[in-house]
Amino acid sequence: MTVIRDARRDDLPEILVIHNRAIVDTTANWDENEVDLADRDRWFDQRAADGHPILVAEIDGVVAGFASYGPWRARSGYRHTVENSVYVADSYHRRGIATALLAELLERARQGGIHAVVAGIEASNLTSIALHEKFGFRVVGRLPEVGTKFDRWLDLVLMQLTLPVDPSASL
Ligand SMILES: CC(C)(COP(=O)(O)OP(=O)(O)OC[C@H]1O[C@@H](n2cnc3c(N)ncnc32)[C@H](O)[C@@H]1OP(=O)(O)O)[C@@H](O)C(=O)NCCC(=O)NCCS
């Protein structure tokens, strides 16, 4: 059974493995050097300080994937907008885990007064584009050749889901 729950600090070693695999082998994450546990500790603390969720999908005691959102841009006027991410370990792909994570993440966004959720996706990542389309995200832009990895240029596709929120709602 898949359980979607808030991440705990002791999930970070498993999250780190999934995160570093995406850095080393994919263009889903545009970092090029693996990070260490201290980096994930700082990320965990920052999300907590911002009141932003980190969710994990746990299957039989194993962290199979995680999802989170954080600020889209730093200036205060952007506070109702976040950028989301979702990662699932290879051996758990195509079992609906990302779907379950994103469904709960978007529920948290609704509860948290978030108005716009932005996904920045490498243009050839058709799986992630299809995943986000399932939830109503639409492509709102494409930035050509703004990234580089594995000796080629990368285009960034921006997808957005807009949630109904009163702009005067306190956040
Ligand atoms: C993208 C990712 C999170 C999908 O995780 P997943 O748990 O396998 O996804 P799900 O099983 O919930 O499938 C969700 C949808 O994605 C699409 N999808 C999943 N695998 C696919 C594949 N191999 N080819 C095409 N579409 C695919 C489908 O639309 C699917 O919905 P459906 O099953 O109703 O048809 C996963 O492939 C991953 O972690 N990739 C590396 C990291 C990454 O790209 N993250 C997103 C960064 S923006």
pLDDT at 168 over 80: no
Which amino acid, 114? I
CA of 30 to the centre of ligand 1 (A): 18
Say if domain 2-162 classifies as CATH 3.40.630.30. yes
CA of 127 to the centre of ligand 1 (A): 5
**For residue 168, with 0-12 CB atoms within 10 Å meaning exposed, 13-18 middle and 19 or more buried, which class applies?**
exposed
**pLDDT, tens only, 90-121:** 999 999 999 999 999 999 999 999 999 999 99
Of 56, 62, 127, the residue with max ligand 1 atoms within 8 A of its CB, to mutate for a pocket test, comes to 127
- Domain ranges across the chain: 2-162
Indicate which residue's Cα is closest to atom 16 of ligand 1.
131
CA proximity to 125, closest of 106, 91, 98, 105: 98
Nearest ligand 1 atom, CA 125: 44
Distance CA 10, CA 71 (A): 24
**pLDDT, tens only, 23-80:** 999 999 999 999 999 999 999 999 999 999 999 999 999 999 999 999 999 999 999 9
CA of 69 to the centre of ligand 1 (A): 18
